[in-house]
Amino acid sequence: HDVLIRRMLDIMHNAALRGAELAIENPVPRGDPASSFFRPELADHLSLWDLDNIRAFSSMHFMLSVDFPQCAFPGSPYQKLTRLAYTAGLQPMLRRLHGLHCRHASHPSVAHGFTDGGQSHGRLSAQYPPAMAALLAQAFANVIYKECHHLSDSADKPTTCDSQCPC
């Protein structure tokens, strides 16, 4: 896992050097007894957010973070407490995640452990709820749009895309 994380951070760092916005998503850490997310039965699970290189990377790139339950999005049967760290350019869309709360008395499924048939709940819960996926896509699309369609000083109309614009 260490090699994969180092490679991910290298790719993201090089993208940031070229002006890209960044985001990292992973479950919230559950092992800190001082955290409101602490669960004794999950305390031995290592969190991505506990890794020194993830903390250093997030700090180096001035990443903001938000913790939220995926069940706040329609259609998610999982509470799945999630942390998203992201760079400031994504803030206009992703600030909507702040203040999301679980309002359910219970959930039909959990995002850890295994089903009676041996399937991983983690794997079954890996897909984002559609509204969450749409929000993340829109956050990055807005950045790309702003990069590609600079407003003209004289006419207040978008300029046309150049050959390097992905849209």
pTM higher than 0.75: yes
Where residue 154 falls among pLDDT bands split at 50, 70, 90? very low
Which ranges of 91-152 does DSSP label H, i.e. alpha helix? 91-94, 121-124, 130-148
* Mode of pairing for the β-strands spanning 81-86 and 23-27: antiparallel
What is the C-alpha to C-alpha distance for residues 79 and 76, in angstroms, rounded to an integer?
7
d(CA 12, CA 156): 33
Average pLDDT score over residue span 86-113: 88
Give the integer Cα–Cα distance in Å for 101 and 11. 33
- φ, ψ at 135 (rounded to 5°): -65, -45
- Please name which of 16, 6, 164, 5 lies closest in space to residue 90, comparing C-alpha atoms: 16
Work out whether the CA dihedral 95, 131, 49, 111 comes out positive or negative: positive
Find out whether 129 and 78 touch, Cβ atoms under 8 Å.
no
State the Cα–Cα distance between residues 82 and 72, nearest whole angstrom.
11
**Residue 10 binned pLDDT confidence (cut-offs 50, 70, 90):** very high
Residues 42-90 pLDDT 10s: 888 888 999 999 999 999 999 999 999 999 999 888 888 899 999 999 9
